[in-house]
Structure 1
Amino acid sequence: MMRVWILPLLLMFCGSTVAIGLVRSGNPAMAVALLAVFLPLAVVNSPLIFPGSVGAEEAQRRSAVDGRPVVFWRPGCKYCIRLRIGLGRGARRLHWVDIWRDPAAAAAVRAANDGNETVPTVVVAGRPYTNPDVEWVRGQLS
């Protein structure tokens, strides 16, 4: 669980450290501007922006029952963030699986992508789609 928080905490630590240095050197405006960049970066890369992840097996079981797509993702992936933000509230209707938390999920993604852990990989009706367009995924929800 701690692994998913490493990047956001590192972003906040680095941004705060540099901002403190800027304040001490007499440049508080630049410190505020820097924090205005690092804080959103930390939030976007945190688990807060993504719905709660489930295991690969559980997601596939749920998908078989309700027909909703399964999204394999990992924290810090800009394409996963783009998909999540692009889907808006609709993202909560998908089954999200963090490949860093579930080795079986990482193996499933590698199997679908010629040995690469390329995310987001969206599975619809048992067929994987690597880095699909946001509009296409939204269309799968209706």
Structure 2
Amino acid sequence: MRSPWLWAALVAALGLVVLDAAADGRLGFAVGYGVVALAVAWWTSPWRGRRGGTTHEEVLSMADTDPRKGVVVYWRPGCGFCAMLRARLGALREQATWVNIWEDEEAAAYVREVNGGNETVPTVVIDGIPRTNPDPALVAERLREA
């Protein structure tokens, strides 16, 4: 969810459901749904995961001998597949270069270019070859080689 306005509308809708349940006296449901709504709001937040990371332009300007260029992961906040890749890589994830496509329009355009017009993430570039949602074992193997 890229748009802060769309995210705000989602949060407002979830909040109205919680308030309606509380007004009807269904406090247990309101509390339970409120917890779920907070988790959904956090997970889909357009600001989650923003760290001022690497940009696509910086990746392009890296020397071919730069070890950070060996594995470049294009990702976005709220993506379950990206979160799974990050978790499965464990400590190795620090050796990859992570580019948030929601913060970098050039990165989003690159991901669309290599994925037939879709912003499918994670798109992982390993030694210059883009792979869409690759097996985490493949990514980890390449990171161990570095």
> Smaller-chain TM-score range?
0.7 to 0.9
CA–CA distance in 1 between the matches of 2:10 and 2:141?
A: 34
Displacement of 1:71 in angstroms is: 1.1
Change (3 A) 1:120 1:135: same
Give TM-score, length-normalised by structure 2: 0.74
Match of 1:136 in 2: 138
Structure 2 residue matching 1:104: 3-state secondary structure:
helix
Displacement of 1:129 in angstroms is: 0.8
Name the Cα RMSD after superposition: 2.8
Match of 2:17 in 1: 18
Amino acid at match of 2:67: D
Gaps of 5+ in 1: none
Match of 2:37 in 1: 38
Structure 2 residue matching 1:123: 3-state secondary structure:
strand
Match of 1:74 in 2: 76
2:123 to 121, 124, 134: 121
CA–CA distance in 2 between the matches of 1:129 and 1:115?
A: 15
Give TM-score, length-normalised by structure 1: 0.75
Change (3 A) 1:13 1:117: same
CA–CA distance in 1 between the matches of 2:3 and 2:54?
A: 14
Change (3 A) 1:137 1:6: farther
Identity of aligned residues (%): 39
Match of 1:54 in 2: 54
The alignment of Structure 1 onto Structure 2 pairs a total of residues equal to: 140
Displacement of 1:95 in angstroms is: 1.9
Gaps of 5+ in 2: none
Displacement of 1:132 in angstroms is: 1.0
More moved, 50-59 vs 65-74? 50-59
